[in-house]
Homo-oligomer: A and B are copies of this chain.
Amino acid sequence: MLEKTTRMNYLYDFYQSLLTPKQRSYMSLYYLDDFSLGEIAEEYDVSRQAVYDNIKRTEAMLEEYEEKLLLFQKFQERSKLLVKMKEMLKGDNPINETIIETVAELEKLD
C-alpha cells in the first residue's frame, strides 16, 4: 500500500495538470494530506462511494497517461544516471569518457 501511495504521489505530480479541478482536490486530499474517503465525502457533501469512484477513475487515468508518456519512468532513469554522474565526478581523476557515455545515455532518454 505504501508503495502504491508513493507511485500515485509521483504520477499525480507529473500529470496533475491534465486532471480536472475536482479530481485534483480529491487526489491531493487523499494522497498528499492523508484524508480518509469519509472525510473527503463530508468536506464536499457527497457520498463516500462517489469519492471512491472518482479517485479510482483518476488513478486509472494517471496510469494511462504514464503508459503513454512514461514521464515517471524516464524521470527514474534520468535520476539514476545523474546519481552515477555525480559519483564519477567525486573522484580526483574522473574518467571523461565514462561521463561522456552517461551524457549520451541521458540524451537518448528524450
Task: List residues of chain A with CB under 8 Å of any chain B CB.
Answer: 15, 17-18, 65, 68-69, 71, 75, 78-79, 82, 85-86, 89, 94, 96, 99-100, 103, 106-107, 110
Contacts and interface: CB of A to CB of B under 8 A. Distances in A.
Main secondary structure of the interface of A (DSSP, over half): helix
Given A94-B96, A110-B78, A85 B103 contact: yes
B89 A106 contact: no
B96 A89 contact: yes
B17 A110 contact: no
Nearest to A76: B110
A85 B94 CA distance: 14
B103 A89 contact: yes
A107 B82 contact: yes
A100 B86 contact: yes
Given A17-B68, A18-B69, A68-B18, A89 B78 contact: no
